Amino acid sequence: MAELPDFSDSDLWVIRATLSERYGKGVAIELADAELRPPHGTHSHPMPGRFLVGAEV
């Protein structure tokens, strides 16, 4: 499986705008590295990830 590219500036803008609309304020996000393994697979695949900091969900 080909490695997925990191989030682009446009991707990050969409994420921030969506979270701002959802929570009614700016929400800090942190970029992360993640690995995905298919349910019956034996190999993990690296991909970009993100998580929220201090969001009340």
| Three state DSSP letters for 25-38 | CCCEEEEEEEEECC
Note the pLDDT of residue 54. 65
Note the pLDDT of residue 8. 92
Note the pLDDT of residue 21. 93
Kindly report, residue by residue over 6-54, the tens digit of the pLDDT.
Answer: 889 999 999 899 989 998 988 888 888 888 888 888 888 888 887 777 6
- pLDDT range class, residue 2, cuts 50, 70, 90: low
Q: Which amino acid is at 28?
A: A
Q: Which residue has the tokens 């080909």?
A: 2
Whole-structure pTM value: 0.64
Note the pLDDT of residue 56. 59
Output the DSSP codes for 1-57. Answer: -PPPPPPPHHHHHHHHHHHHHHHSS--EEEEEEEEE--TT-SS-EEEEEEEEES---
